Every structure is written in C-alpha cells, then in structure tokens.
A = this chain, B = another copy of it.
Amino acid sequence: MQIQLAQRMEAMKASEIREILKLTRKPSVISFAGGLPAPETFPVAEMQAVAGTMLASRGCEVMQYSTTEGEADLREWIAGRMNGRLGTSVEASEILVTSGSQQGLDLTGKVLLDEGDEVLCESPTYLGAIQAFTAYRPRFVEVPTDDDGMLPEELAKRLAGCRRPKIIYVVPDFQNPSGRSWSLERRRQVRDVASRFPVVIVEDNPYGELRFEGVARPPLKAMDRHGQVVMLGTFSKILCPGLRLGWIAAPVELLEKYVLVKQGADLHTSTLCQRLAADYVRGYDLDAAIGRIRELYRRRRDVMVAALERELPAGIRFTRPSGGLFLWVELPQHLSGRDLLVRCLEHDVAFVPGGSFFPNGGHENTLRLNFSAMPEPRIEEGVRRLARAIREMLADTTVPASA
C-alpha cells in the first residue's frame, strides 16, 4: 500500500548527524554532542517529598484532566517570576503552560506560518526551532550575527526584502549553539527595527537564568512596546527536563490562538507534572538550586575553555560564553565538522557539527560543544581527544600552497 505523505514530510528528513550520534552511546565515548542538564543537579529528594504529599492530599485531582491553559497557580508563579527576574509585566492570563518549550516553537509555527512565509533568525540558530518551523514550510532568512547579537541593519535590509515576514526568532541569552549573548544596545536596535514590520519576535529564553558572571540584560519582552514579543520559557534547565514543562508568554489576543491550537495538539500538559513543579517552587528554594547549577556549569565552562586553550592548534577560534550549556568552535575554512566527527568517533569523542544549525546550509567548518553534562576530568580528556583528531585532519588536508 503506497501511502502519499503530506508534502511537508519532504523537508522533514531524519538527521544524518543524529544517526551518526546514535553510534556514540557506548560508555567509552566522551560526548559533547548532547544538550543535557547535569542530572546531579536534579532535586530528587525534594521531588520525592513533593510527589508523596501531593498524591496523598489531592491524588484524584492531579491524575484528572486539567485545562488547556495550565494550572492557575503555576501560571501565576511563572508570571510573577518573569516580572521579578526579567522586568517584564505579564499577567497570569498571558501565560500558556506547554509540553516543553519545544512545543512553544511548534505552536508558534502553527499559529503564524503559511507555506512560504519568512522566518528570520540568527545565523546560526537553534536546531529544534528549525525542526519545529520546517513542518509549516516557511522560508528561513538567516540574519548575519556577530558576538553582540543580530546585526540590526542587516535585519532591516532582509525584512525589507521579505514578501511575508512573520517571525523573528532569537535566543539573546547564551544562545544554543553559539553561546553568545546580545548586548543591550542590540536588543534595543532589533526591537526598533522589528517595530516597523508586522512580525512577531519569538524570544526563546531557556538559558537566561544560567548566567555565570556579569550583569543580566533585559529580554526583548521587557522592552516590548507594541505587543510584538512572544517569549518562550522552560523548566528544563532550572529544574529538570523530564517533566516536559515550558511556557509561552504572549499578549492575550495572541495567547488565545495558541490555546486553540494547543487544545487540538494535546489537550493540555500533564496535570501531574504541572502540580509537581508548582508544589516544588512553592515549597523549596529554587534560586538556591539554580545557584548550584550555575556554579557547576561555570566550573565546567572554565575547564573546557582552559583545555581548549591548552590543546587546540593555533588559529582555531571558539567562544567563551558567560552562561548556558554550549560553546562554539570555528575550524579553518577548509576543514569539515562532519568529517571531523567521523574521525572523532575513532577517538571516542563526539560533538554536533555546526552546519546543522544553519537552516540554509554552509558553515561546515563549525562545531558545537556541550560542557554541562559531564565531570571535569572527562571534559579535559574529551578535549584532548578532539584536539588530537583535529591535528590529524590538519596534517592530512594540507592547504595547497599558492601556485
């Protein structure tokens, strides 16, 4: 029986990289490829206490259906935390609880995108966003981006050239994959440019709370004057990802549309997971827990940066992120991250080739390294193996001398 799939499936191919990375699951491999939080930071004992009390006192309720919008007190808490930490002024009625912030991306595509509509994004940008939006068949427009963020004049130029621009997708804090954070000035400039076009700025903020040093900059959401910014948040990096809990903060008229599509997508997010998070944040010191996460990841970032400085051959650039989970390496132009990955597997070390993060291809000489998920000695050993593989490739692929 030959079934005709939807046309969107032509663009939704299994990632070749993901297939390669499946080979890396043996314990001998040191993998910088994932984006996992460190499990030793999960508040397991606290969650056990919360689950016990919750099921004993209101078990029937937490096992029943809930509303599409999400548990009322959790929405209150999210709005309150955003306003307190980020300087936004959102109401609980502007929050929709989602099944992870990945769902926030999918629902965004569903609410906003017709085939051929333009999504403008940083270059590189988050792979999960590319995957989510691709289902709605947009045209991705990569906007040149430097260490301070998206370039506003380049954004303006590209917006002017778009036929139906709908979304500017940005990760201004400790971006996945590059680790970069936007300057305050850039945030303002991008907001100002966007305000001249009928587009939604989708500000994805999974890592904002994981700052190792320096002062936090306000999100675009807090600078929004036109109800133009939708912000995505998640519990995955500040509590744990296994609950699959995220949220969307959007102006009420737009949020109502999100609620409609979420209802068709999965009715609502797990009542039990929502109640676990709501009861945890009420009963325990989330800030202290986040402080421990930050401290751990900062040490691991330091160890990885020091190892890269020590081990990598000269001429290879990498970012020194002041927060988040990732850093970004640029090889010499003639080296391919994909080829390097294949070679690295012989050395029992893995990463994600950076080309995957550019929706329109190219930039094959880049790699993303995760530093959150493993102990410091493994990071040092992994970087040694990576550097060895790079040196081998450099030796094999000498650039032809000018003729």
Which residues on A are within 8 Å of B, measured CB to CB? 1-9, 12-14, 36-37, 39-40, 42, 44-45, 47-48, 51-52, 55-56, 59-66, 98-100, 102-103, 105-106, 110-114, 117, 128, 131-132, 134-136, 164, 166, 195, 198-200, 226-228, 236, 240-244, 254, 256-257, 260-261, 263-273, 276
Q: How far is the CA of A112 from the CA of B12 in the complex (A)?
A: 13
Distance in angstroms between the alpha carbons of A61 and B271 in the assembled complex: 20
**Which residues in B have their C-beta under 8 angstroms from that of A112?**
3, 5-6
Are A47 and B55 also in contact (CB < 8 A) when A114-B7, A242-B270 are? yes
Contact in complex: B198, A6 (CB < 8 Å):
no
Q: Is the CB of A272 within 8 A of B242?
A: yes
The chain B residue with its CB closest to the CB of A246 is B266
Residues of B within 8 A of A66 (CB): 242
Is there an interface contact between B51 and A264, defined as CB atoms closer than 8 Å? no
A242:B132 contact, CB within 8 angstroms: no
- Set B47, B136, B268, B269: member contacting A6, Cβ < 8 A: B136
Assembled-state Cα–Cα distance A3/B236 (Å): 30
Whether B52 pairs with A48 at a CB distance below 8 angstroms is yes
Given contacts A1-B226, A260-B14, contact A59 B44 (CB under 8 A): yes
Residues A63 and B135 in contact, CB atoms below 8 Å apart: no
In angstroms, Cα B36 to Cα A268, docked, is 14
The 5 closest A-B pairs by CB, nearest first: A44-B59, A242-B271, A63-B240, A39-B60, A48-B55
- A240 and B36: CB pair below 8 A? no
Beyond A44-B59, A264-B128, whether A241 also contacts B64 by CB under 8 A is yes
Query: In the bound complex, do residue A39 and residue B14 qualify as a contact, i.e. CB atoms below 8 Å apart?
Result: no
- Chain B proximity of A3: nearest CB distance (Å): 6
Task: Flag if A264 contacts B12 (CB, 8 Å).
Answer: yes
Q: Separation in Å of the A284 CB from the closest CB of chain B?
A: 14
Contact of A42 among B13, B64, B98, B236 (CB under 8 A): B64
**In the bound complex, how far is the Cα of B261 from the Cα of A136, in angstroms?**
11
Q: Choose from B1, B8, B12, B111 the contact partner of A9 (Cβ within 8 Å).
A: B111
A14 → chain B closest CB, angstroms: 6
Cα of A60 to Cα of B45 in the assembled complex, Å: 10
Q: How far is the CA of A51 from the CA of B1 in the complex (A)?
A: 44
Q: Are B198 and A267 in touch, CB under 8 angstroms?
A: no
Chain B residues whose CB sits within 8 angstroms of the CB of A63 once the complex forms: 39, 42, 44, 47, 240-243
| List of B residues within 8 angstroms of A228 by Cβ | 1, 3
A265 & B62 in contact (Cβ 8 Å cutoff): no
Cα–Cα distance between A44 and B63 once the two chains are bound (Å): 8
A-B contact pairs, 28 of them (CB 8 A): A1-B228, A2-B198, A3-B112, A3-B198, A5-B112, A5-B257, A6-B113, A13-B260, A14-B256, A37-B64, A42-B60, A44-B63, A47-B63, A48-B55, A48-B59, A66-B242, A99-B269, A100-B267, A106-B266, A131-B263, A131-B264, A134-B264, A135-B261, A135-B264, A241-B271, A244-B267, A266-B266, A273-B273
